[in-house]
Structure 1
Amino acid sequence: MRRLWLMAAMLATASAAHAADMPDLPILRGSFTDGLSKASHNWDGFYVGGQFGFATTDIDFSHAPKSMTDFMLRNSVLQAPVGGWSLLPKNHVQSTGFGAYVGKNWQIYDAVMGVEANYSYMNNISSTASDSMGRILPGETAPTGHTYTYDTRLGGGASLKLKDYATFRGRVGWDGGDFMPYGFAGLAIGRAEVSRFATVTWQKYDDFDEAVISGGVVTTVHRHLPAGSDTLSSAEQRSNAFMYGWTAGIGIEYAICGNFLIRGEWEHVGFSNVKDITVGLNNFRVGAGYQF
């Protein structure tokens, strides 16, 4: 028994001495993390920045005179058909712009959610269109044997200049370390200078057959006689017309030098009618900001 105790004591002494001679490795103390964890930027917090972009815009003037002609021809047989004419074209405009943004992010694990207000001033998004067209339109119910028609001509024009717009949007992104791809959607409000005019001219005709007796011979003669005419005009101009719509898009943001951010994004904005003119734009832009 004494030999067993002596042997155990000798083994314990040798093990302690061997451990004392081993190098002091961090991994043995639980602090070696290089290569085992991912360094990640913390996207949580407020941020501000500026941006520069290039926008392609479609301005649809086709029904710009509609509400004007509807009012001028109200309660008449001409109101519905003339109001449905596509008088003016859809124009395509390109321009640059610049602006600023401010927002706040909340990060939950790798998900980043946030809200952002974004302002863009547009350098020269403006367009003008004018044209005229004519049609023969059926008239109201006439007495037996008679037919009413209207020789109608519509002329008009419109112009629009988009000065600036702001969007209020929600963002959802994914933490990729020092970069974050994201998507967004929200509301948009724009400010534009708008003008338009419309002129409607109509000549009414009464068509009927008339029996004419000449020398005891009865001859049927077709009559095409004027039965009234009128010219109606309307014009209006607004230097600050507000447009409301929606926005959606995608982008990617990079964190550089700590809290400095750079981004690139595509944004689509669709505005509702302003004076019967619709505007839709695609804005491609880059920006730089700072996160607090």
Structure 2
Amino acid sequence: MSRYFGLAAAALLSLAGTGGALAADLAVKAPRVVSGCAWCGFYVGGNAGYAWGRDSQSSVFDAPAPFLAVDTAAISASGSPRLKADGFTGGLQAGYNWQSGAVLFGAEADFNAFNLRGSNSGTFVFPSTLPGGAVGPPTAFYTATSSASSDWLFTARNRIGWASDNLLIYGTAGLAVANVKLNQSVVVLGGFTETASVSATQVGWTAGIGAEYMVTRDWSVKGEWLYVDLGKVSATGVLTPAFAGITYNTTAHLTANIARVGVNYHFGGPVVAKY
């Protein structure tokens, strides 16, 4: 009988050892829940940078006698400068990403302060009053001042990129909306002043490239360049005091480059179990 008790005890000890080893093995191979896509899901963040651009203006001044064609052409040319504009930009963005393999698809919108400013002013000669001109000396002068600006910018863009671990490189393009302000003033002979101004919300387009790096599971930093084309805006001049037959029309085309850096907080994508 003692012999059977000994054999039973040995069998139980063997099973206990086997069971412990099996339990330890199962513990090692227990599933680990991790994110299935580091870049997927919603994100929000902020950005700041520098904008520089050009406002190409085209003006036509037309007037009857006693104005001469050579003088009206000079005024038109003076009211058609190419203004250089620049300023600070910064604001907030939000978006959503999908990923298929290494290819990322996304949509992003941002709203930014867009302090783009540019101006030009000068004093010019009436060509007809130069020596040899139709009128001749004494030489007469006029002044022309032009300015363009914008205060805010909204974009809604698609993104497509290539993701490798923590690094994302992407291209982006879409809609751009901004306010555009244009002001011109030309002071001619006899105290006559021609003014033209407009403030409009312009709809255009934007495109650019960027790179983003995942610093932690939730936070990323990025650098981005965008080109913005806000289309053309027009204004009709008003002469003070009024003079019959004089017209003044101007058109401006504002474009800009934006270089900015930003930070995003990611809410995360789907989760899966890995072994």
Residues 107, 197 of structure 1: CA spacing in aligned structure 2 closer, same or farther, 3 A cutoff?
Answer: same
2:76 pairs with 1:101: no
Partner of residue 251, structure 1 = 210
2:264 pairs with 1:289: yes
Alignment of 1:86-235 (within 5 A): 87-123=79-115, 125-131=116-122, 132=124, 134=126, 156-198=144-186, 234-235=194-195
2:231 pairs with 1:269: no
Query: How many pairs are equivalent?
Result: 217
Q: TM-score, normalised by structure 2?
A: 0.63
Superposition deviation, residue 155 in structure 1: 5.5
Any stretches of 5+ residues in structure 2 without a counterpart? Answer: 1-17, 23-28, 30-34, 129-133, 235-250, 268-275
Residues 154, 187 of structure 1: CA spacing in aligned structure 2 closer, same or farther, 3 A cutoff?
Answer: farther
Contact 2:121 2:146 in 1 (8 A): yes
Contact 1:98 1:121 in 2 (8 A): yes
Residues of 1 paired with 2:178 and 2:74: CA distance? 30
Write the deviation string for residues 198-227 of structure 1: whole angstroms up to 9, x where unpaired. 4677xxxxxxxxxxxxxxxxxxxxxxxxxx
Partner of residue 50, structure 1 = 46
Contact 1:169 1:185 in 2 (8 A): yes
Write the deviation string for residues 84-103 of structure 1: whole angstroms up to 9, x where unpaired. 73644323233222111111
Is the radius of gyration larger for structure 1 or structure 2?
1
Q: TM-score, normalised by structure 1?
A: 0.60
C-alpha root-mean-square deviation of aligned residues, in Å? 4.1
Residues of 1 paired with 2:53 and 2:135: CA distance? 38
Residues of 1 paired with 2:262 and 2:215: CA distance? 13
Amino acid at match of 1:254: Y
Residues of 1 paired with 2:36 and 2:215: CA distance? 12
Write the deviation string for residues 236-263 of structure 1: whole angstroms up to 9, x where unpaired. 334x422232211110111222121211
Contact 2:97 2:106 in 1 (8 A): yes
Amino acid at match of 2:232: N
Residues of 1 paired with 2:197 and 2:78: CA distance? 21
For residue 59 of structure 1, the aligned residue among 50, 55, 60 is: 55
Any stretches of 5+ residues in structure 1 without a counterpart? Answer: 1-19, 25-30, 32-38, 137-148, 202-229
Residues of 2 paired with 1:130 and 1:274: CA distance? 20
Partner of residue 77, structure 2 = 85
SS of 1:85's partner is helix
Residues of 1 paired with 2:224 and 2:47: CA distance? 10
